[in-house]
Chain A
Amino acid sequence: MKKKLAKEWPPLPHAPIAMVFGLLEHLRDASGGREDLYKLGGPLGLELDDLLPVTEAAKQLGLVKIASGDIELTGEGRILAAAEAPDRKERLRRQLFEIPLLRRIHEALEPAEGGRVLKKEFLDLLEEHFSPVEAERQLGTALDWARYGELFDFDPDTEEFVLPS
């Protein structure tokens, strides 16, 4: 059961979206849009706990490929790394729909009245697969990414996720 779920619903890595952009820009300037993974560690000064979430986030967003110790920009990753601000947001928004949790929340909001759904509903759903603390963190990261792409927002007064107005 747990295995199957992990496939459908890979946990979001807790990497801030700004850091993902930093990674894309770093790779953009590396020769061939590719870098040895280890060089992001020691030489660049990233600890594993910072490095692994950001590479995983970029991978889940379809912006990098990781193979045999190398990390490389995908076609979309290259475009995004070179894009100017407004275009960047729009392109990232499209990539965000690749993430099951974000897509799921967005799909739930669209038909909902006022484009609003209680956060608790998603927490309950996530708590079937994660600890309560981790479920909360999953939604926190989802919200950080979703806000960047203007996919959805959160209303703390009503504790609801909400489509952007």
Chain B
Amino acid sequence: MDATVVPAEAARKVLVRLDAVEQLYDRKIRILGPMDLEVREGEFLSLVGPSGCGKSTLLRIVAGVLQPTRGRVFLGDRLLEGVNRSAALVFQSFALFPWLTVVDNVALGLEARGLGVHERLKKAEKYIDLAGLAGYERAYPKELSRGMKQLVGLARALAVEPELLCMDEPFSALDVLTARTMRDLVLDLWASPEVLTKSILLVTHSIEEAVSLSDRVVVLKANPGRIADMVDLASLPRPRRADAPAVREVVDHMYTLLA
């Protein structure tokens, strides 16, 4: 893959910047880094690699829910301290509240952001509609299929209109067909003018998934977690079919890096 940097890409505002970040276990066992990483405005960035490469750790550092052992995290030009309020998270395990309906699960994050009840419902409805969940508002999580549960998680994250959506293996608990339609939906939402969130950070162990979705892919190696390559895919048009030669070439390159 030609790694030419498009000037417009390089000039994009940096949302989150990790500077010489390291994660140690018990102060001596190196899990991750040291490494630098930028999440840029408007990009779909994926972190891909095998178990133990620290991809989820990196995502948690970006989201500010985990403090790196060493190094600094910047939000724009400010040092990030504590939780990154401009980011929202989607988890592999959905993390819904079983005793709340779909609409209440989606509206929940909005309460924490200080919106009144009317505004909360309006916004929740909007993102429920966009996620294709209209009709399920009053359903409880236990009544939903796994795919629909993940849509609720996605609607909940998008409803707070974060600058950055962080998704940790969001499709890996789903069967292949459901995962496929979810990936399409995420791309549609990302492209929709109605959705204000324009930057996505995805953690996945699927190279094919990273390549099918992302503008840039960070390929990570394990033990300790480190960057093997940063692949720019912005010039690869979507939708990207798995059997397209350009897609195959990038996928092969990434497998070769990790093998």
Contact A150-B181, Cβ < 8 Å, known A29-B241, A46-B176:
no
Contacting pair A85 B132 (CB below 8 A) = yes
Residue B111, interface by CB 8 Å:
no
Residues of chain A with a CB closer than 8 A to B147's CB: 16, 18-19
Residues of chain A with a CB closer than 8 A to B72's CB: none
- Among residues of A, the one whose C-beta sits closest to the C-beta of B189 is A85
Contacting pair A89 B132 (CB below 8 A) = yes
Interface string of A19-57 (1 = CB under 8 A from B): 101110110010000000000000011100010001000
Residues of A8-23 at the interface with B, using a CB-CB cut-off of 8 Å, are: 16-19, 21-23
Residues of chain A with a CB closer than 8 A to B193's CB: none
Contacting pair A148 B135 (CB below 8 A) = yes
Residues of B145-173 at the interface with A, using a CB-CB cut-off of 8 Å, are: 145-148, 151
Residue from B138, B151, B177, B179 in contact with A154 in the complex, judged by beta carbons closer than 8 Å? B138
Complex alpha-carbon distance, A118 and B61, angstroms: 50
Contacting pair B145 A144 (CB below 8 A) = yes
Interface string of A84-120 (1 = CB under 8 A from B): 0100110000000000000000000000000000000
Residues of B165-217 at the interface with A, using a CB-CB cut-off of 8 Å, are: 175-182, 184, 188
Complex alpha-carbon distance, A155 and B143, angstroms: 12
Residue B140, interface by CB 8 Å:
yes
- Among residues of A, the one whose C-beta sits closest to the C-beta of B134 is A150
Residue B139, interface by CB 8 Å:
yes
Residues of chain A with a CB closer than 8 A to B136's CB: 147-148
Contacting pair B145 A17 (CB below 8 A) = yes
Contacting pair A18 B138 (CB below 8 A) = no
Contacting pair B181 A16 (CB below 8 A) = no
Complex alpha-carbon distance, A144 and B220, angstroms: 39
Residue from A22, A85, A88, A147 in contact with B180 in the complex, judged by beta carbons closer than 8 Å? A22
State the Cβ distance, B172 to closest chain A Cβ, in Å: 12
Residue with the highest number of chain A CB atoms closer than 10 Å, among B138, B143, B177, B180: B177
Chain B interface residue bracket vs A:
20 to 34
Contact A46-B175, Cβ < 8 Å, known A144-B145, A149-B135, A154-B138:
yes
Residue A140, interface by CB 8 Å:
yes
Residue A69, interface by CB 8 Å:
no
Contact A22-B143, Cβ < 8 Å, known A45-B176, A147-B136, A164-B135:
no
Residue with the highest number of chain B CB atoms closer than 10 Å, among A21, A26, A153: A21
Contacting pair B135 A21 (CB below 8 A) = no
Complex alpha-carbon distance, A16 and B132, angstroms: 14
- Among residues of A, the one whose C-beta sits closest to the C-beta of B242 is A29
Residue A64, interface by CB 8 Å:
no
Contacting pair A89 B140 (CB below 8 A) = no
Residue from B130, B146, B180 in contact with A25 in the complex, judged by beta carbons closer than 8 Å? B180
Contacting pair A22 B176 (CB below 8 A) = yes
Residue A143, interface by CB 8 Å:
yes
Contact A85-B188, Cβ < 8 Å, known A18-B182, A19-B145, A144-B145:
yes
Residues of chain A with a CB closer than 8 A to B146's CB: 16
Contacting pair B143 A143 (CB below 8 A) = yes
Residues of chain B with a CB closer than 8 A to A29's CB: 241
Contacting pair B241 A89 (CB below 8 A) = no
Contacting pair B148 A18 (CB below 8 A) = yes
Residues of chain A with a CB closer than 8 A to B145's CB: 16-19, 144
Residues of chain A with a CB closer than 8 A to B151's CB: 18
Residues of chain A with a CB closer than 8 A to B177's CB: 19, 21-23, 26, 44, 46, 50, 54
Closest 9 CB pairs of A and B: A22-B177, A16-B145, A18-B147, A150-B135, A22-B181, A147-B135, A21-B181, A22-B180, A19-B178
